């Protein structure tokens, strides 16, 4: 649990307060100047929950992979867009991670089996945090955060619910699904690296009022993290909210295009900070130089053939704070020509530097 204590609460002299404030500012500037730049690769990916469960072990799936590269005549390209069981899709997800080596991964919509399968496939390279959204333990979908053990150390983590009662498993009135956000504070293993916070989240697919509350809660919590830990905050998530149009309320609140909605009083009290109204998120895609933005535009495809895909950009990586810079942004592939769709969402990658 984070406890914020006022540095000046016992100071009785205005002169002393000013002196300490100036000294604190100088120390923060000095720390910034001495901070070691930390390159990070972030991945956000909605995995599609395990809707076709079976008991096939990982070893059996691996055993079915072809031992040699097939000939062109043996491949049926883009053979089937239909949703396959997770036991078929998991290898493609793990291969993508293995090849691209992200530092941080935010997986949305993963059930317990999916999280543990990926942990087994990744081996000792990654650790993870997260809880099932339905009971705060194992039931329901996880918004899981994975990180590389050779680069980062986890300092703190927690989950909050995107509802009027954010400190216990609950859902927004009138919606069918519980929605959560997983928050993790990291320290780089490199000397003098700056701490930073990651929030992985998944918002409602039907209710824009829920998405607006979700954005308002995360915006408020992130402002506290920036102020309290003096490092940037990165949000990896399926917002189910495009950047424009009638359903863009959540995105608009995150980026300051509209004001936040009222949040629960207990959440407001716990994460109060004087900087709350001056902090907004930046869509990392917009912060990236155009020449370094690549891949697809849409992040959601559904399980359909190309001509029938319900294409939309609803998955985002966002950043708050000043101690970072964007290097590259890419919407990757979820359907390779000789395989099945790995998910109904495409992976979203960003390369950034924390300074």
- Residues 104-129 have pLDDT tens digits of 999 999 999 999 999 999 999 999 99
Give the model's pLDDT for residue 259.
96
Give the model's pLDDT for residue 35.
75
Q: Which residue has the tokens 């990926």?
A: 118
Is there a contact between 320 and 279 (Cβ–Cβ < 8 Å)? Answer: yes
Per-residue pLDDT for 260 more than 80?
Answer: yes
Q: List the helix and strand counts (H, then E) for the chain.
A: 8, 13
Is there a contact between 338 and 73 (Cβ–Cβ < 8 Å)? Answer: no
Give the model's pLDDT for residue 89.
98
**Strands annotated E in 47-195:** 104-110, 126-129, 142-148, 152-161, 180-188
Per-residue pLDDT for 18 more than 50?
Answer: no
Give the model's pLDDT for residue 34.
67
β-sheet bridge partners, residue 148: 126
Name the burial class of residue 258, with classes exposed (0-12), middle (13-18) and buried (19+) by CB atoms within 10 angstroms of its CB: middle
| pLDDT band for position 102 (cuts 50, 70, 90) | very high
pTM value is 0.90
Least confident segment among 9-23, 277-291, 335-349: 9-23
Give the model's pLDDT for residue 11.
38
b/e for 181-197, b at 16 or more Cβ within 10 A?
bbbbbbbbeeeebbbbb
| pLDDT band for position 26 (cuts 50, 70, 90) | low
| pLDDT band for position 5 (cuts 50, 70, 90) | very low
Distance of CA 219 to the CA centre of its chain: 14
Mean pLDDT computed over 219-228: 96
First-residue to last-residue Cα distance in the chain:
26
Per-residue pLDDT for 23 more than 80?
Answer: no
- Tell me which residue of 121, 114, 216, 118 sits closest to 163, measured CA to CA: 216
b/e for 311-339, b at 16 or more Cβ within 10 A?
ebbbbbbbbbbebbebbbbbbbbbbeeeb
**Strands annotated E in 99-179:** 104-110, 126-129, 142-148, 152-161
Sheet of 196-202, strand order: 152-161, 180-188, 196-202, 233-238, 315-320, 282-283
- Whole-number mean pLDDT of the chain? 92
Question: What percent of the chain shows pLDDT beyond 90?
Answer: 86
Give the model's pLDDT for residue 7.
33
Q: What is the pLDDT of residues 33-88, one digit of tens each?
A: 567 999 999 999 999 999 999 999 999 999 999 999 999 999 999 988 999 999 99
Per-residue pLDDT for 24 more than 80?
Answer: no
The continuous run of DSSP H or E covering 77 comes out as none
Per-residue pLDDT for 12 more than 90?
Answer: no
β-sheet bridge partners, residue 128: 146
- Domains of the chain are 37-354 (3.60.10.10)
Q: What is the pLDDT of residues 314-354, one digit of tens each?
A: 999 999 999 999 999 999 999 999 999 999 999 999 999 99
Is there a contact between 252 and 246 (Cβ–Cβ < 8 Å)? Answer: no
Give the model's pLDDT for residue 110.
98
Tokens of 287: 């912060």
Is there a contact between 106 and 145 (Cβ–Cβ < 8 Å)? Answer: yes
């Amino acid at each position: 649990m984070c406890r914020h204590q006022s540095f000046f609460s016992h100071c009785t002299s205005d002169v002393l307060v000013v002196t300490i404030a100036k000294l604190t500012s100088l120390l923060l500037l000095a720390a910034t100047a001495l901070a070691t730049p930390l390159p990070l690769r972030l991945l956000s990916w909605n995995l599609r929950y395990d809707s076709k469960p079976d008991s096939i072990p990982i070893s059996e799936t691996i055993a079915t992979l072809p031992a040699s590269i097939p000939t062109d005549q043996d491949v049926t390209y883009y053979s089937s867009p239909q949703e396959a069981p997770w036991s078929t899709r998991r290898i493609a997800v793990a291969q993508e991670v293995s090849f691209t080596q992200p530092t941080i991964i935010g997986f949305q919509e993963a059930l317990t089996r999916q999280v543990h399968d990926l942990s087994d496939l990744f081996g000792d390279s990654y650790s993870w945090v997260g809880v099932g959204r339905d009971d705060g333990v194992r039931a329901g979908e996880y918004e899981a955060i994975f990180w590389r053990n050779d680069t980062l150390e986890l300092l703190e983590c927690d989950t909050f619910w995107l509802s009027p009662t954010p400190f216990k498993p609950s859902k927004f009135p009138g919606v069918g699904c519980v929605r959560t956000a997983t928050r993790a504070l990291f320290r780089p293993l490199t000397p003098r690296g700056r701490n930073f916070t990651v929030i992985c989240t998944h918002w409602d697919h039907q209710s824009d009022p829920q998405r607006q509350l979700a954005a308002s809660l995360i915006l408020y919590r992130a402002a506290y993290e920036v102020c309290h830990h003096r490092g940037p905050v990165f949000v990896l998530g399926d917002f189910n909210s495009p950047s424009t149009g009638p359903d863009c309320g959540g995105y608009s609140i995150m980026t300051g295009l509209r004001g936040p909605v009222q949040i629960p009083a207990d959440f407001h009290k716990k994460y109060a900070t004087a900087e709350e109204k001056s902090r907004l998120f930046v869509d990392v895609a917009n912060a990236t130089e155009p020449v370094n933005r690549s891949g697809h535009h849409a992040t959601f495809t559904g399980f359909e053939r190309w001509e029938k895909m319900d294409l939309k950009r609803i998955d985002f990586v966002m950043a708050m704070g000043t101690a970072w810079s964007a290097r590259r942004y890419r919407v990757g592939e979820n359907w390779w020509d000789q395989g099945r769709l790995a998910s109904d969402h495409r992976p979203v990658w960003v390369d950034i530097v924390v300074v």
